[in-house]
Structure 1
Amino acid sequence: MSKAILVLEDGRTFYGDAYGAVGETFGEAVFTTGMTGYQETLTDPSYHRQVVVQTAPMIGNTGVNDEDDESDKIWVAGYVVRDPARRPSNWRSTGDLGERLGAEGVVGISGVDTRALTRHLRSRGAMRVGVSSVDLDPTSLLEKVRNSPQMLGADLSAEVSTPDKYTVSAAGEHRYTVAALDLGIKRNVARRLAVRGVTTHIFPASSSIEDLLAVGPDAVFFSPGPGDPATADGPVALAREVMRIRKPLFGICFGSQILGRALGFGTYKLGYGHRGINQPVFDRTTGKVEVTSHNHGFAVDAPLNTVIDTEFGGVEVSHVCLNDNVVEGLRGLDVPAFTVQYHPEAAAGPHDADYLFDRFVELVERSGKPSVELVEKKG
């Protein structure tokens, strides 16, 4: 087994063994607290250009399968684990995680004290990192790390977006049509809409308002995705156009940040971000606390306890993270638009926030378009 090293931007160095592909990789070091769902994490486009540290010590026990990918490939820039499974054991498994990483060229490292690494990132913040199993000189690798691109100012959504429009049909009876802007969409978004009778047309990130309206959508969706929302001027302008024509609009994660900017708010980079499947969020609309899935390193800068007057009318913060009071959702009071910063489409869970897709459908219904069922009854 080849040896490997991990060198952080501030010089902190960890030693271990190569896991996945032998080679060298660079990105932003982040940690995720999820104890399940590593296959979904790896294939989530929002992790593009990030080296993901798993805080759960044992990874790979259930192997990988052909059903749980959230996109067509593994997107993480690198992977850091403490104790990889020697062999997978699960009735759904079709392969070994380490072999899958190697086949897709994903450079990783195992045998690392991920607890110490996570504590370091919590105290110092997310930072650039290099993982190598070919250059084992910490000084040499550190120089490369410091010459690698930062996440702040990175415009990445176009790199993960679909090149061509495609459609996911409603499961069963078709009720509504949604135009979804792919900024790094996960497959489960369209699945959650499909079971509610929604046909979803997924568009490239560079699409225009004319492109979206060409499919006759009842509503528009802005997807999650990677990078710094301050760079995404095109999607921000598109969100403003959608709100001007009062088309119902729902944004998740990166899409939430885009809508935040479209409403006139700023965004900022969090110290170490929210990543994992156990984040508590307070829904001010229902008064309930949800356990939610997160993957974001940026947030919307909006006042928590007041209605904000914007070009599009009143807006309020609808959801708040109970760990640190970060804005986790916005709600338009005069335009049919709302957002959440986390992932109601979470796979492998939790599913506390799945109701938000019902809220989206209800928003469409309240916006004046009768359902197909009602039209048929009247006809």
Structure 2
Amino acid sequence: MTTTREKSTSVSSTRTTDRIPAALVLGDGRVFRGRAFGATGTTLGEAVFSTAMTGYQETMTDPSYDRQIVVATAPQIGNTGWNDEDGESRGDRIWVAGLVIRDLSRTVSNWRAARSLPEEMASQGVIGIQGVDTRAIVRHLRDKGSVKAGIFSGDAADRPVDDLVAEVNGQADMKGADLAANVSTDETYIVEPSGEFAGKDPRFTVLAYDMGIKTNTPRNFAARGIRTVVVPAGSPVTPLLEQYKPDGVFVSNGPGDPATADDMVEQVRTVLGKKIPFFGICFGNQILGRALGMETYKLKFGHRGINVPVINHLTGVIDITAQNHGFALRGRAGEPFETDFGTAQVTHTCLNDDCVEGVALDDGMAFSVQYHPEAAAGPHDANPLFDQFIELMEGNN
């Protein structure tokens, strides 16, 4: 399987130095010049920003960031180095197309750090630029929206600006991009119960579609005594239901345009038709919405960070959530709508912009949210969603 990075990144050197020139070039012609770190060369992607003050390792290894150049709003990055425990992808692969920061910490101070951030980026061929005004870049992206971009370092940074802008604009649009296959597992694997449930019969079996699943999701299931069968995106669900006889089906987070995921929409419709408990997060929320007849659209600059307030309209409770999405469902809270599977409604919205953050069937058999319950943003505001899914499976047995 050819990865997006292989398509969009040209690495000419893996030297880590702050003396190599680099340029962040946006598709609208704006250029921000700084210095290279990590690998050097050229990388292309969509420029987005993350408001997270911590967790750059989790961000960079999140498969949902495939083909995106992330601008960090936190002014200093790299002080915690890189460890072998906090990666959110199998094999700790870095999925961001590139990283844009203001100041690179010269000292690694975390006791778990095995190496520095630039060392890990260089070893994985990930290109970064430091020494740029990230505040100005973020203000520009908020005004103009997420745009095509490229980081050019080393000799590439000295090319004529018009040529660089043309190369940036020559890449494919994020709208209409089907990226789940790039990040999904190639083959099925199983995560068994852990902790106090290790070695015991699982309480339930969950069939989990890997649209770009983060490792902490099956870990949360395992800690609750659940066996998780992780399968490739788009896998036909009927034979999987016959083989594994799951008590519930889960669809994970992931990158790309949900409007391209017709195959997954059909799999979820099959699950809903069979009255099997369903839980989706992020991309899974958009897939459930589409299965219920809702439309999706591309947000101007998306939601990315660990401090996004979301209100649950069923309970009135506000959660502080971790999010990473550039697309959303079109709908409004308080307006129930009919579907092929019964009445549904928008259950959650974002307090910042009224964006849809959750949908559910009124019979309780399917629900989803547009954020990460496995992340510690609130710090644990959304984590009980895993328990809600378990209660749903218990009630269905």
TM-score norm. by structure 2 comes to 0.91
1:176 maps to which residue?
204
Give yes or no for contact 1:268–1:300 (8 Å, CA) kept in 2: yes
Return the offset for 1:345: 0.8
- For 1:94, the equivalent position in structure 2 comes to 114
Q: What is the distance in 2 between the residues matched to 1:239 and 1:53?
A: 34
Contact kept, 8 Å, 2:322 with 2:377, in 1: the verdict is no
Residue identity matched to 1:305? G
- Deviation track 1:315-334 (CA, whole Å, cap 9, x = no partner) reads 01111100000000001113
Match of 1:142 in 2: 165
Distance 1:209 1:118 in 2: 41
Instruction: Trace 1:12-91 onto structure 2 (pairs within 5 A).
Output: 12-71=30-89, 72=91, 73-91=93-111
Q: Is 1:122 aligned with 2:142?
A: yes
Residue matched to 2:298: 269
Give the AA of the match of 2:185. Answer: T
Residue aligned with 2:228, SS: strand
SS at match of 1:5: strand
Does the Cα contact within 8 Å between 2:306 and 2:321 map onto a contact in 1?
Answer: yes
Instruction: Pick the aligned partner of 2:259 from 230, 238, 249.
Output: 230
1:155 maps to 2:175: no
The one of 296, 303, 309 equivalent to 1:280 is 309
Equivalent position SS for 2:286? helix
Aligned partners of 1:99, 1:93: CA distance in 2, in Å? 12
1:193 corresponds, among 221, 246, 251, to: 221
Look up the equivalent residue of 1:149 and give its one-letter code: A
- Other structure's SS at 2:96 match: coil
Matched letter for residue 87 of structure 1: T
Q: Is the 8 A contact 2:249 2:277 kept in 1?
A: yes
Which deviations, in whole Å up to 9, do the C-alpha atoms of 1:313-355 show, x marking residues without a partner?
Answer: 1001111100000000001113600000011111576321001
Gaps of 5+ in 2: 1-18
Matched letter for residue 264 of structure 1: G
Instruction: Sort the Cα spacing of 1:75 and 1:66 in 2 relative to 1 into closer, same or farther, 3 A.
Output: same
Distance 1:167 1:210 in 2: 18
How much does 1:302 deviate? Answer: 1.8
Q: Which of 205-214 and 352-361 deviates more?
A: 205-214
8 Å Cα contact 2:310-2:351 kept in structure 1: yes
Rounded to whole Å, the distance in 2 between the matches of 1:44 and 1:170 is: 23
- Alpha-carbon distance in structure 2 between the residues aligned to 1:350 and 1:50: 26
Decide whether the 8 Å contact of 2:320 with 2:378 is kept in 1.
no
Equivalent residue letter for 2:136: A
RMSD: 1.1
Aligned equivalent of 2:333 = 304
Deviation at 1:366, TM superposition (A): 1.4
Question: Partner of 2:14 in structure 1?
Answer: none
- Map Cα deviations across residues 249-285 of structure 1 (whole Å, 9 max, x no partner): 0000001101111110000000000000000000122
Task: Check whether the contact 1:315–1:333 (CA below 8 A) recurs between aligned residues.
Answer: yes
Amino acid at match of 1:198: I
- Code of the aligned partner of 2:237: I
1:155 alignment partner, SS class: coil
> Does the Cα contact within 8 Å between 1:19 and 1:108 map onto a contact in 2?
yes
1 CA distance for matches of 2:55 and 2:240?
32
How many residue pairs match? The answer is 368
**2:284 is aligned with 1:255:** yes
Other-structure match for 2:190: 167
Q: What secondary structure does 1:338 align onto?
A: strand
Matched to 2:255, the amino acid is: P
Structure 2 SS opposite 1:23: strand
Among 227, 230, 234, the residue aligned to 1:202 = 230
The answer to whether the 8 Å contact 1:222/1:251 transfers is yes
Identity score, percent: 55
Return the offset for 1:170: 1.1
Q: What is the distance in 1 between the residues matched to 2:50 and 2:212? A: 18
SS of structure 2 residue aligned to 1:135 = helix
- Taking the aligned partners of 1:169 and 1:135, their CA distance within structure 2 comes to 47
SS where residue 19 of structure 1 aligns?
strand
